[in-house]
Amino acid sequence: MKLSPPPATGIGLLDRWLGLLWRKLTGDAQIEWAQIDTTGTADIDGNLTVAGTSTLTGNVTASGSLSVSTTSTLTGNVSMGGTLSVTGTSTLTGNVTASGNMTVNGNTTLGNATTDTITLTGTVQPGVVIEGSSSGAAFRVTQTGSGNAIVVEDSSTPDSTPFVVDATGSIGSGSTSLSGYKIRLGGTLSATAANVSFGIGNLVTFDPSVTTTGGYVFYSNPTVSSGTLTTLVHFHAEQGTFNGSVTSQYGFTSSVLTGATNNFSFHSGNAASIGPGKTNYAFGANNNIATGGGTTWNFYAAGTAPNYFAGDIQLNKTITAAGTTGAQTINKNAGSVNFAAAAASLVVTDSLVTANSVIVATVATNDATMKSAAAVPAAGSFTLYPNAAPTAETRVNFLVIN
């Protein structure tokens, strides 16, 4: 409120006293009232301090500070050049421009959830700090529309790689295309001092004061609520786009794990209780022989440590039916053929055999004369020679080792 000079009353002593009071108020630029109610425009060149309730329904322009110790209701436009301090409840329904400090110790409501936009611009120092001690949320965002709930950008709007939390709670870091994702990472990774980049780094510390039966750095326990899911994959590695060269690529790898009593780089639990009509594969591979000039393996163990198999070992094989004798084509590592009576040799065509293959052949029939057979490998086949011509049809099992 801007004070104008008092009008002359015609009483000399009173006029001089009012003049001195006016100069005192406007000179010190301080106005202190117990309560203020105004429906017009208030222009305040100095500081305005209201110890009681403040209700301003017009525009307020203050070049100094506005301090209200109880409730403040401002329904017009408010422009502050100094400090706005409200220790009670503050309701601002117009535009608020504060070029100084604004301190609110009571409850503060800014804007309408469906119609208003609140924008904070400029440099925020030292940042936005939310402190509280309650059972409720210290910070809450309610988004009932289709837009994102939170967007954090580190470049000019629109940032192509922001941090995003959409209205459904899905999180994107460096990516805004979250359809079908709960968490999606994008953008460009920077390397560490050791020239290593991590899409996700998990460096959790388990509480040493608590004894637990299991600690999971990564845990997957999905629920299929209804319908039919054709394929459920807990972990998936897929070939990406390489514009540069990559020497080695691993779908899954582990470093040297030696800290525990028993250390497993990969471990599958016991599924012996699986029900009828279902199959559990501790490890499954569907790699075929390379046709493009490269090399493929289903299982490759290059270390010199022993390999231990406690269960049955099964190799794909073909057993030739009784009554079928003579040469056979069996493109497998194991199988059987039948010698006809008096046969002097038998050729097995096998694409897995090379001249350096080791062929283990055993006679599987108690023939009177044929007790063993020699196996001579060649490229794409091997020939079996009996120690003596069999007196009747005789079966021979074979195993190809490369």
378 pLDDT higher than 90: yes
The residue with tokens 């005192």 is 24
Pairing mode, strands 47-50 and 30-33: parallel
Phi, psi of 260 (to 5 degrees): -95, 175
**Residue closest to 94 by CA, chosen among 76, 79, 108:** 76
- In the DSSP assignment, the letter for residue 25 is H
Q: Percentage of the chain surpassing pLDDT 70? A: 69
Q: What is the pLDDT of residue 96?
A: 64
Output the CA angle 219-199-180, nearest 5 degrees.
65
Contacts of 131 (CB under 8 A, 6+ apart): 138
Mean pLDDT, to the nearest integer, of 171-200? 84
User: How far, CA to CA in Å, does 336 sit from each of 105, 358, 369, 387?
Assistant: 90, 16, 19, 17
C-alpha span between 213 and 26 (Å, rounded): 76
The yes-or-no verdict on residue 231 having pLDDT over 60 is: yes
| Residue 20 pLDDT exceeds 70 | no
Question: Which tokens in the block code for residue 140?
Answer: 């809450």
pLDDT for the residue numbered 33: 45
Range name among 34-43, 147-156, 350-359 with the lowest pLDDT average: 34-43
Cα–Cα distance, 90 to 74 (Å, whole number): 8
* Closest among 106, 39, 123 to 74, alpha carbons compared: 39
The contacts of residue 206 (CB under 8 Å, 6+ apart) are 212, 215
pLDDT higher for 134 or 54? Answer: 134
* pLDDT for position 29: 44
Q: How confident is the model at residue 345 (pLDDT cuts 50, 70, 90)?
A: very high
Count of Cβ atoms closer than 10 Å to residue 103 Cβ:
10
Q: Hey, CA dihedral for 282, 287, 289, 294, is it positive or negative?
A: negative
Which pLDDT tens digit goes with each residue over 245-295? 999 998 888 889 999 999 999 889 999 999 999 999 998 999 998 999 999
Task: Kindly state the helix (H) or strand (E) to which residue 339 belongs, with its residue range.
Answer: strand 334-339
Q: Which of 356, 352, 360, 346 is nearest to 390 (CA)?
A: 346
Could you tell me the pLDDT band of residue 67, with boundaries at 50, 70 and 90?
Answer: low
Between 314 and 3, residue with greater pLDDT? 314
300: which 2 tokens? 């490759």
Higher pLDDT, 113 or 330: 330
Determine phi and psi for 196, rounding to 5 degrees.
-125, 140
- The 10 Å Cβ neighbour count of residue 197 is 10
**What confidence score (pLDDT) does residue 34 get?**
46
